[in-house]
Amino acid sequence: MSPTAVSGSEARAASPKHFATQLPVIAQDRAELLMVEVPKVRGRRPRAILLALGVAVFGFLSRAALTVALVVIFWSLSLMSVLLAPAAPRLNSLRRGGLPLMGLRPRINN
């Protein structure tokens, strides 16, 4: 950037010619900044994808571990309720007509 900086009080008095001469300098600075930042972003993208996959796998494994723990705890009480419990939220939303079987609801009611 050029050594002539415009302060706040001089900014109002700056001429359009001065602004026009500063515009290419500003554009060049922004282009250089973009050229520096693009490789950094490219390096972060695979890391972000791996982090998202790790979070998804962790969520799946924690849900599976919770299901297995509930099955082991309640196995002796009622076998049928233990096996149907993981499907209860889906069955409830189907009953309200919220999932893909919404078109079948009139056939079920008749």
89/93 Cα distance (integer angstroms): 6
Determine the pLDDT at residue 104: 52
Domain segments of the chain as ranges: 11-99
CB 71 within 8 A of CB 82: yes
50/100 Cα distance (integer angstroms): 31
Determine the pLDDT at residue 51: 94
pLDDT, averaged per 10 consecutive residues of the chain (110 residues), comes to 52 72 87 85 85 95 87 80 71 58 51
